[in-house]
Amino acid sequence: MSTDEFEGRLKALRPRLHRYCARMTGSAIDGEDILQDVLVKALHARAQGAGVDHLEGWLFRIAHNASLDFLRVRSRGTVVPLTEDIEAAPMPEADIVAISFQTFLRLPELQRCAVILKDVLGHSIDEIAGIAECSPAAAKSALQRGRAALRRLAQAPEDARLPLMPDAARRKIAAYVDLFQSGDFDAIRAMLADDVKLDLVNRLQLDGRDKIVPYFTRYAEVTKWRFALGAVEGRPAMLVFDSTAPMESPAHFVLIDWAENRITRIRDFLFAPYVLEAIDWVRLGQENDEDGH
């Protein structure tokens, strides 16, 4: 397989890998960070001459281990007590896709892995065992237990997820959104740090104030976008809606990092629509605010 073919396969598998990482970590945003790390590791391993017999399984093993490393560092996992080993039917795809990432996070790691790989991504028991590095019997048992636990958790009422953000953070993102709404991109450029970083997720990364100037120019040229203050997974965000389509949910979102009053990083998810699947979002500052998933 040539380098171009290899990179093409990585790009094609990116949404599937994100679905796994996001559900394993309980966050679409953290899942994207882990996914980028997975792709870097895969490209490095190939450059070092690593032999790969089954690319998808190999990538999911990397993604699985990277997700577990992330969870252990953050100590975010909450274990659900095991129930009796009953045979549980898979949940319909529409139902399982709608389950929030935080609900998946409440399953033990192996159960979470098995349910995601089997019922979300369609892997076989043997493939699950290979990715999780366990026996097929253990994978099957984890799948059965995970299905039963997930069905039970999905039926329980969820706690309201109101974004808790400091007033200063809210004021900064609100000002940023106001400037986008008014088209005052010169004012935004004046807020940029000299070494600001732009991450157009799944497309390109740029460093430095001068290099990212065209980013704002292109937004100014596209008239269909509508901007709103919001939060994604509790993080301050600019929600971007497509006025040519039903505006019931954002088309994408933008995250901003600050150092005092300077913008140090812009993460724009325009080219990563897969990240929107089942995320928690809320629109703020409107009388008719609508909660997302």
Reading phi first (left if > 0) and then psi (alpha if -120 to 50, else beta), residue 216 is in alpha
Query: Residue 261 half-sphere exposure, CB side, CA atoms within 13 Å?
Result: 6
Reading phi first (left if > 0) and then psi (alpha if -120 to 50, else beta), residue 108 is in beta
| Separation CA 171–CA 238 (nearest Å) | 12
| Separation CA 184–CA 133 (nearest Å) | 53
| DSSP annotation of 40 | H
Nearest one of 279, 230, 288, 264 to 27, comparing CA atoms: 279
- Judged by DSSP in three states, 204 sits in strand
Write the single-letter amino acid at 144: Q
| Separation CA 21–CA 35 (nearest Å) | 7
| pLDDT value of position 165 | 66
Encoded tokens for 97 = 């896709």
| Separation CA 18–CA 12 (nearest Å) | 11
How is 160-202 classified by DSSP, letter by letter? P------HHHHHHHHHHHHHHHHT-HHHHHHTEEEEEEEEETT
Strand partners, 2: none
Encoded tokens for 246 = 């039903």
Q: What is the pLDDT along the chain (293 residues), one digit of tens a residue?
A: 788 898 899 999 999 999 999 999 999 999 999 999 999 999 999 888 777 789 999 999 999 999 999 998 875 444 433 333 434 567 666 577 678 788 888 899 999 999 999 999 999 999 999 999 999 999 999 999 999 998 888 777 654 444 456 788 889 999 999 999 999 999 999 999 999 999 999 999 999 999 998 999 999 999 999 999 999 988 899 999 999 998 899 999 999 999 988 999 999 999 999 999 878 888 986 433 344 44
Write the single-letter amino acid at 156: A
| pLDDT value of position 91 | 65
Which run of H or of E encompasses 93? helix 93-98
Phi and psi for 178 in degrees, rounded to 5?
-60, -40
| DSSP annotation of 245 | S
| pLDDT value of position 92 | 66
| pLDDT value of position 76 | 45
| pLDDT value of position 47 | 87
| pLDDT value of position 102 | 81
